[in-house]
């Protein structure tokens, strides 16, 4: 049974309560750090997804715990985004290499299958009649 607390979108008030911050702080961070947050298609009101809330938690940690300035937060977020992009690039390279390996294996299997088909002699009517005669004996 799914938890009642998990929703697709959360209001600014709910996010502020989760983060123990004022709604104005949530709006300020959204504007200050140019966050591209998810908007609900149901209404034009601000609605936040769990990924948006996690980003807000990171900002809160950087501002409140690490005592970073606005520039420091932006640099930290930029660096984190670059690390994520680097990880994605490495994953894409690995996937491309794996795909090339699989494609090579498929070509080798096809070549082997074609060779083995050529080695087998097709059954001609003479061979079929001989085979029937041998079976009847």
Per-residue DSSP letters for the chain?
Answer: ---TT--S-B-HHHHHHHHT--HHHHHHHHHHTT----B-SS-SSB-B-HHHHHHHHHHHIIIIIS---HHHHHHHHHHHHHHHHHHHHHHHHHHHHHHHHHHHHHHHHHHHHHHHHHHSPPPPHHHHHHHHHHHH-
User: So what's the pLDDT on residue 101?
Assistant: 92
**What is the rounded distance in angstroms from the CA atom of residue 78 to the CA atom of residue 73?**
8
pTM of the model: 0.59
- C-alpha closest to that of 6 among 50, 47, 58: 50
User: So what's the pLDDT on residue 6?
Assistant: 81
Question: Does residue 6 or residue 11 have the better pLDDT?
Answer: 11
Q: How far is CA 63 from CA 23, 26, 75, 83, in A?
A: 16, 12, 12, 20
Given a cut of 60, whether residue 15 has pLDDT beyond it is yes
- pLDDT tier at 1, thresholds 50, 70, 90: very low
User: So what's the pLDDT on residue 87?
Assistant: 87
């Amino acid at each position: 049974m799914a938890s009642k607390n998990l929703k697709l979108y959360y209001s600014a008030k709910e996010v502020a309560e989760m983060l123990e911050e004022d709604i104005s702080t949530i709006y300020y961070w959204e504007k200050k750090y140019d966050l591209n947050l998810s908007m609900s298609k149901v209404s034009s009101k601000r609605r936040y997804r769990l990924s948006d809330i996690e980003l807000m938690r990171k900002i809160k940690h950087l501002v409140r715990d690490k005592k970073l300035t606005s520039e420091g937060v932006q640099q930290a977020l930029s660096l984190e985004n670059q690390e994520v992009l680097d990880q994605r690039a490495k994953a894409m390279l690995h996937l491309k290499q794996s795909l090339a390996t699989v494609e090579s294996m498929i070509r080798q299997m096809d070549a082997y299958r074609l060779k083995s088909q050529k080695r087998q002699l097709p059954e001609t009517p003479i061979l079929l009649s001989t085979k029937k005669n041998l079976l009847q004996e």
